[in-house]
């Protein structure tokens, strides 16, 4: 039999389903930091993040015990989808003012990426300042938009992966990204912030 430390998260989940409580302890130890960082980034409040984190693990335990997990995908992605659903339930009636929202049937596939050019110290400083400004503006986005930006640029997930994790269509993921970019550009314009990288 395989040593518990050598098991994948997916194998540990199945082992827990079969009655091995030690397997769950190891799953929690392996995934709690990444999951909490994700939740904290989306909700931006430590107390709320703690609550969402606890709710997430309660639901994870319940779903594992009910046999609602199949090891055909990454365990951490499955956990993040549960956390996402809890966060979205929490924010459903709490939408921000003056924020551009995507239409229900939008088809937004014209989103490109930016490449950072490495250069001298001055360019590095300017680029670093731009990224700091971008992070500050991201914090002001609605949760669903902040989440898609985080998953795309900080976790390097594809729009297909984002769509699967957040349980929406690819077009909706693209739409959320588009509106996040529009909102960030509007914030930059209103505050005279240049977002051009050198």
Whether residues 191 and 102 share a domain: the answer is yes
**What digits encode the pLDDT tens for the residues 67-91?**
889 888 789 889 999 999 888 888 7
- Give the model's pLDDT for residue 79: 92
- Give the model's pLDDT for residue 12: 93
- Give the model's pLDDT for residue 119: 44
Whether residues 57 and 131 share a domain: the answer is no
- Give the model's pLDDT for residue 23: 92
Whether residues 105 and 196 share a domain: the answer is yes
Whether residues 103 and 189 share a domain: the answer is yes
* CA atoms of 122 and 140, how far apart (whole Å): 28
| Low pLDDT (below 50) residues in the chain | 96-100, 103, 105-119
Whether residues 111 and 184 share a domain: the answer is yes
Q: What residues make up the domain containing 40?
A: 4-91
* CA atoms of 28 and 147, how far apart (whole Å): 22
Given a contact cutoff of 8 angstroms between Cβ atoms, the answer to whether 147 and 91 are in contact is no
Domain C-terminal end among 53, 68, 91: 91
pTM, whole model, 2 decimals? 0.57
- Give the model's pLDDT for residue 82: 92
- Give the model's pLDDT for residue 158: 84
């Amino acid at each position: 039999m395989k040593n518990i430390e050598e098991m994948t998260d997916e194998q540990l989940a199945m082992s827990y389903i079969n009655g091995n409580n030690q397997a769950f302890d190891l799953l929690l130890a392996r995934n709690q930091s990444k999951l909490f960082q994700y939740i904290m980034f989306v909700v931006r409040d430590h107390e709320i993040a703690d609550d969402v984190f606890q709710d997430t693990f309660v639901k994870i335990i319940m779903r594992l015990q009910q046999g609602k997990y199949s090891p055909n995908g990454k365990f951490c992605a499955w956990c993040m989808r549960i956390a996402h659903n809890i966060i979205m339930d929490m924010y459903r009636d709490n939408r921000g003012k003056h924020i551009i929202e995507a239409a229900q049937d939008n088809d937004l596939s014209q989103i490109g990426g930016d490449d950072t050019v490495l250069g001298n110290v001055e360019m590095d400083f300017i680029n670093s300042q731009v990224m700091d400004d971008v992070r500050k503006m991201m914090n002001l986005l609605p949760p669903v938009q902040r989440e898609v930006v985080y998953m795309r640029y900080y976790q390097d997930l594809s729009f297909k992966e984002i769509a699967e994790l957040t349980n929406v269509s690819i077009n909706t993921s693209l739409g959320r990204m588009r509106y996040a970019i529009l909102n960030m550009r509007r914030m930059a314009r209103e505050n005279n912030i240049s977002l051009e990288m050198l």
